[in-house]
Amino acid sequence: MAVPVYRGRFGKPQAERLLWRAGFGPRKGEAEKLAKLGLEGAVHKLTNPGRERFHGPRPHDDNGHRLAPNDAWGHDQLWWLDRMVRTNRPLVERMTLVWHDWFATSRDGVGPARLMLRQNNLFRAHALGSFSTLLMEVTKDPAMLLWLSGTDNTKDSPNENYGREVMELFTIGADRHGYTERDVREQARALTGWRNSWDDNLGPVRFRYDPSRHDTGVKTIFGKRGRFDWKDSCRLCVHHRLHPSFFVTKMWSYFIPTPPPAGTKRALQRLYVEHGYQMKPVVAAILRHPALYTGPRMVKSPAVYTAGLLRALGRGIDTEAWTWLMQLAGQALFYPPNVSGWDDSRWLDTATYRARWAIASYAIRPKVLDSDKAKLPDDALKLVHRAESFWGNPALTGHTHAQLTRFVKNALRDADDHWKKRAYPAMIENALRQLLAASPDLQTS
């Protein structure tokens, strides 16, 4: 059985959803251009983006200075948000965010921003490549070695942190009877050997493999015996009988909020294995699947939501406010809450929604209309149309459109003085822009 492919109309609404799910939303006119390529052409363009280029103004802080991601507080997050906003390879950048959540690593346990940025570039370089290769690279990555105690894991004192998580969270899954506590202990032994030095100015440096710290004895992992080392540990996990089902189910969840049908899941597993654990064929198949276009909407994470608003406005990173605003909304880049990553089911609640309202307000602030100067029509439909055009005419439900129109009509009805008739249209459009950005239609895709 082949992976099902969406056969319905592929117009602007479908292209728009694809750009939100596989990136950070469309720039103005981008969804229309993608729609003209058809589904196959659109997916091919996203999965084969070519050389990286950036569009829009270069990022800077509140004082107009260049970002200092290695040194200034919050600038590492701004550096990455800028890439999300300006990249011409949205799927690659979105996959970088996926891997940051999948192999969740936090500066709270790592320390220097330079190590997190190095890991971030690793995720980007292997975004759509081989999972086997990515796992190998992550296993020896300095940030991960610090985060999950890899450099504290020696033959004389085995540390089980990474040995457990590589199976539970990264490759096989918990509560699936795929491994035992003995496998955890034996994996820890296989992963011994890493170390680093310390520099008083730079902190942890010179991460390297030291054979003298490695346990060379025979280990038994998943019922197999051998003098396994860290490379064998990765290989055994990827070739485990439960890994393909874990991989395709978890990858699917980043793009579609409902579980894959049984037949689709089997087909994706077969595709994954037949292509040698390459990720691009699986991601492309998910992006072509009918469930992406006909299924329920997904809540955008704070990073996706913020980057998307800025892309729609053509605005670059010109304030440091995004760092604390995204944190209030529940997602501080480079600071996932734990090794399991973020809980996507908790993006919207009474606390975080207030932050999203503030994000929308900050996004439109430079383009707020002056009610004393702007001369706008006192026509409800025209004002709604102008506000929708401001955001690139996103696909809206009839209910949202009707509620916005009702709001404008009620507001215009209150304009019973001359000054109100002059000032209200601009004030109403400012409000409409805010309401649109905070509406369910733009909070989800």
- Could you give the CA distance from residue 160 to residue 187 in angstroms, rounded to a whole number? 8
CB 189 within 8 A of CB 158: yes
- How is residue 279 annotated by DSSP? S
pLDDT digits (tens, 9 = 90+) for 311-350: 999 999 999 999 999 999 999 999 999 999 999 888 998 8
Per-residue model confidence (pLDDT) at position 29: 95
Per-residue model confidence (pLDDT) at position 242: 98
- Could you give the CA distance from residue 99 to residue 105 in angstroms, rounded to a whole number? 10
Q: Which of 299, 254, 297, 244 is nearest to 275 (CA)?
A: 244
Tell me the helix, strand and coil percentages in the chain, rounded to 5. Answer: 55, 5, 40
In angstroms, how far apart are the furthest CA atoms of the chain? Answer: 88
Residue with tokens 């990455």: 80
Pairing of strands 194-199, 224-226: unpaired
250 in helix, strand or coil? helix
Per-residue DSSP letters for 304-350? HHHHHHHHHHT-----THHHHHHHHTT--TT--SSTT---GGGS-ST
Residue with tokens 């990474």: 162
Residue 182's identity, in one-letter code, is: R
Per-residue model confidence (pLDDT) at position 418: 78
Per-residue model confidence (pLDDT) at position 351: 86
Per-residue model confidence (pLDDT) at position 417: 82
- Could you give the CA distance from residue 282 to residue 363 in angstroms, rounded to a whole number? 35
Q: What angle do CA 94, 98, 99 make, to 5 degrees?
A: 120
Element (H, E) at 235: helix 230-238
Per-residue pLDDT in tens (0 to 9) along the chain, 445 residues: 899 999 999 999 999 999 999 999 999 999 999 999 999 999 999 999 999 999 999 999 999 999 999 999 999 999 999 999 999 999 999 999 999 999 999 999 999 999 999 999 999 999 999 999 999 999 999 999 999 999 999 999 999 999 999 999 999 999 999 999 999 999 999 999 999 999 999 999 999 999 999 999 999 999 999 999 999 999 999 999 999 999 999 999 999 999 999 999 999 999 999 999 999 999 999 999 999 999 999 999 999 999 999 999 999 999 999 999 999 999 999 999 999 999 988 899 888 999 999 999 999 999 999 988 888 888 999 999 999 999 999 999 999 999 999 999 998 888 788 787 888 889 999 999 999 999 999 999 9
420 in helix, strand or coil? helix
Per-residue model confidence (pLDDT) at position 271: 98
Instruction: Indicate if the alpha-carbon torsion angle 238, 241, 247, 248 is positive or negative.
Output: positive
- Could you give the CA distance from residue 371 to residue 163 in angstroms, rounded to a whole number? 61
This prediction's pTM: 0.96
Buried b / exposed e over 179-215, threshold 16 CB at 10 Å, is: beeebbbbbbbbbbbbbbeeeeeeebeebeeeeebbb
List C-alpha distances in Å: 150 to 139, 140, 157, 254, 372: 8, 8, 11, 28, 62
End-to-end CA distance of the chain: 29
Per-residue model confidence (pLDDT) at position 421: 83
- Could you give the CA distance from residue 162 to residue 103 in angstroms, rounded to a whole number? 11
Per-residue model confidence (pLDDT) at position 6: 98
Per-residue DSSP letters for 109-122? HH--HHHHHHHHHH
Per-residue DSSP letters for 205-225? EEEEE-GGGS--S-EEETTEE
Pairing of strands 194-199, 203-209: antiparallel
- Could you give the CA distance from residue 170 to residue 4 in angstroms, rounded to a whole number? 27
Distance of alpha carbon 103 from the chain centroid: 12
Per-residue model confidence (pLDDT) at position 49: 95
Instruction: Indicate if the alpha-carbon torsion angle 403, 404, 405, 406 is positive or negative.
Output: positive
